[in-house]
Structure 1
Amino acid sequence: MRLSPEYLLVFISVLSLSRVTKAQTAPDIFYPFGSVAGDTVNISIEDENSTLIDVWRPFVFFGRTYNKTYVNSNGHLTFNQPSSEFFVNYFPINGSEDIIAPLWTDVDVSMNGIISYQQYSSGSVLTQATQDINRYFPDLSFTASWVLVATWDRVAYFYHSGTETSFQVVLISGGDLSFILMNYGDCAVASNVVQAGYDTVNSTAYFVIPGSNNGNDIPNLMNSSNVNVPGRWAFRVDGGPDQNLQENIIGVQIRVTSFLDLTESGKIETALVKLRQVLINSGVQSSVKLNLRKIQKIQP
């Protein structure tokens, strides 16, 4: 007897992102920057400048090791060549460049704001980085040996005078392990194309911070997180697993033609592939893995 269409409750294990709502002043989470930290200031005219930094320690980014990086005015870092691109290609680009983009958009510091950077191989900043990474990735027993801090302090968006947006990216390495922190302060609504996250060569790994490709949602970055610290996103980027993402059980209600659609060999795999793509398109990291735990019939 063929079953009529049914609703099935499918419990799936997903590496999920945490959201936080606890109030906190986001600039408090910034690593030291500016004149107090002895930063080098990147003086640029609109979007035409990129600063080459010869890093003091190798930085591993998804299997590729770099000894230099470019701090580009428009809110992103590249490794092989500078970039003056202000029109954002949304991740995944499937391109030939590794990109770290704390907030990639059309920045214009000729109106207001400063872009600065500093790298460290000793001192209190390394201590702070070591403590942060061990808090977010507690199974690694990590010790930072090098840190690069790049800060966009109260920068303006091109053609929109009076806008002020502050954000920061922190590159951290120790041995073969590499991490990035993205910190957000007060951010103005962006009328220009914008996004935050990272992408790799051929987009074998990429991530878009949820909501960051919607200019109206940019002010919410200072309250979002994947490590329960408002305004901060942390990622392990050497190519190993993301230890800070907790495994959770979520319920997904879907309509199928029959119960056999999720029990016959091959059909469940197809369903999971489609669901995984929907999650990635919604901002979940591309390394997300889905596992079927249980199928339960419920009444329509």
Structure 2
Amino acid sequence: MRLSPLSQYLLVFISVLSLSRVTNAQSAPVVFYPFGSVAGDTVNISTEDENSTLVNLWRPFVFFGRTYNKTYVNSSGLLTFNQPSSEFFTKNFPINGSEDIIAPLWTDVDVSMNGIISYQQYSNGSVLTQATQDIKRYFPDLNFTATWVLVATWDRVAYFYHTGTETSFQVVLISGGDLSFILMNYGDCAVTPNVVQAGYDTINSTAYFVIPGSINGSAIPNLLNSSNVSVPGRWAFRVDGGPHQNNLQGNIIGVQMRVTSFSDLTAIGKIEIVLEKLQQELVKSSLPSSVKLTLRKIQKIQP
């Protein structure tokens, strides 16, 4: 069938537009460390969900006092250490369980629909330089040099039973001897009705953290702009469990906050938001994420 000149023009225009969309969708988020086949990753394209990959670590990784020589990259968006996990029904932290968990985005992921999961370890090169610079920037009081890095990436993966959803996130394990850190990086994340959660938990939940808003599937896209280190889309934590992280005795912490009116603290639901923001500030100061904040009294005084 012959097309009129106008039809040919429209066909070319639509084709170029579609190509532009594909190119933009494949661009890597700014905060991500190098990943994928281009970076030399081991790429795991599974035909089933509930898949886990054992990674034998080149260097020991210390996680809140426990030393691990292996980890499992689970398709459901979490790392475990003692055993693989096929659980896609998220349990809210603290679980008080028997497993250490690092969950950049724990939910029901199905990579048979679209997306890939990849990982790579580094013991030299530019990635270690990048990790060293990042940790020095976020934790300036520490004399740190990265000696090992593991990057695990879920790139444009789909939620189970929801075709067309694309969500990208990444977790970076960084070690330098006895010091250990994790970075959680976020790209575009689709809204999901599935149960979801981001953060980490430890055996018996002696330390844990939930990224604010990450348990609400409709708020997941906000991870792209959230941070505890003033880098949109990135959360950073020290996780070796050093003395300063687990011992509050003798420490006095001052936090300055501003509210617009007294009703900001007394209105129903407002105080929970304030306490959540306050806890974020305390975690930035390397206090244990397991610290519970409760309100005992509100008193209005004259300035």
TM-score under structure 2 length normalisation: 0.76
Q: CA deviation at 1:35?
A: 1.1
- Is 1:298 the counterpart of 2:291? The answer is no
| Cα distance, 1:141 vs structure 2 | 1.5
SS at match of 1:84: coil
CA contact (8 A) 1:210 1:283 kept: no
SS across alignment from 2:58: strand
- Name the amino acid aligned to 1:56: W
Q: Does the 8 A contact of 1:47 with 1:86 survive in 2?
A: no
CA contact (8 A) 2:123 2:147 kept: yes
Q: Is the 8 A contact 1:46 1:158 kept in 2?
A: no
For 1:52, the equivalent position in structure 2 comes to 54
Report the alpha carbon displacement of residue 117 of structure 1 after superposing the two structures with TM: 0.2
1:245-256 alignment runs, 5 A limit: 248-250=255-257
Q: CA deviation at 1:32?
A: 0.3
In structure 1, the residue matched to 2:206 is: 204
How far 1:298 moved relative to its partner? Answer: 2.2
- The residue type equivalent to 1:225 in the other structure is S
Instruction: Tell me which amino acid in the other structure corresponds to 2:157.
Output: V
% identical equivalent positions:
82
**Superposition pairs for residues 29-178 of structure 1, below 5 Å?**
29-178=31-180
**Shift in Å, 1:47:** 2.4
Distance between the aligned counterparts of 2:28 and 2:233, measured in 1? 5
Secondary structure of 2:256 counterpart: strand
- Runs of 5+ in structure 1 lacking a partner? 1-24, 256-274
Taking the aligned partners of 1:189 and 1:297, their CA distance within structure 2 comes to: 40
SS in 2 for 1:154: strand
Relative to structure 1, the CA distance from residue 144 to residue 53 in structure 2 (aligned partners, 3 Å threshold; closer, same or farther) is: same
CA contact (8 A) 1:26 1:231 kept: no
How many residues of Structure 1 are paired with residues of Structure 2 in the alignment? 251
Instruction: State whether residues 73 and 115 of structure 1, in contact with CA within 8 Å, keep that contact through their aligned partners in structure 2.
Output: yes
Residue 180 (structure 1) aligns with: 182
Where does 1:3-14 land on structure 2 (aligned, <5 Å)?
none
* C-alpha distance in structure 1 between counterparts of 2:51 and 2:196, whole Å: 18
87-96 or 37-46: which moved more? 37-46
Is the CA contact (8 Å cut-off) linking 1:97 and 1:201 kept in structure 2?
A: yes
String of CA shifts for 1:67-109, please: whole Å, max 9, x gaps: 0000000000000000010000000000000000000000000
In structure 1, how many angstroms separate the alpha carbons of the residues matched to 2:75 and 2:113?
13
More helix by share: 2
Aligned mates of 2:82, 2:114 — CA distance in 1: 29
Higher strand share: 1
Q: Kindly provide the amino acid, as one letter, of the partner of residue 171 in structure 1.
A: L
Identify the structure with bigger relative contact order (alpha carbons < 8 Å, sequence gap 6+).
1
Deviations 1:97-131 (A, max 9, x none): 00000000000000100000000000000000000
Post-superposition Cα deviations, 1:222-272, rounded to whole Å, max 9, x if no partner, equal 000000000000000001346xxx9522368678xxxxxxxxxxxxxxxxx
Return the TM-score normalized by structure 1.
Answer: 0.77
Q: Distance in 2 between matches of 1:282 and 1:82?
A: 34
8 A Cα contact 2:189 2:223, kept in partner:
yes
Determine the C-alpha separation between the residues in 2 that align with 1:198 and 1:60: 14
**Relative to 1, partners in 2 of residues 1:280 and 1:67: Cα closer, same or farther, differing over 3 Å?**
farther
| Aligned counterpart, 2:30 | 28
**Equivalent residue letter for 2:160:** F
Going from structure 1 to structure 2, the CA distance change for 1:281 and 1:129 (only over 3 Å counts) comes to closer
Kept in 2: contact 1:26–1:230 (CA 8 A)? no
SS at match of 1:218: helix
Tell me how far apart the structure 2 counterparts of residues 116 and 211 of structure 1 sit (CA, whole Å). 26
Instruction: Give, as a single letter, the amino acid of the residue that structure 1 aligns with 2:119.
Output: Y
Trace 1:209-220 onto structure 2 (pairs within 5 A): 209-220=211-222
Residues 210 and 282, structure 1, Cα contact 8 Å, conserved in 2 = no
The alpha carbon displacement at 1:280 in A equals 6.3
From the superposition, tell whether residues 75 and 289 of structure 1 become closer, same or farther in structure 2 (CA, over 3 Å). closer
**Shift of residue 44, structure 1, vs aligned partner:** 2.1
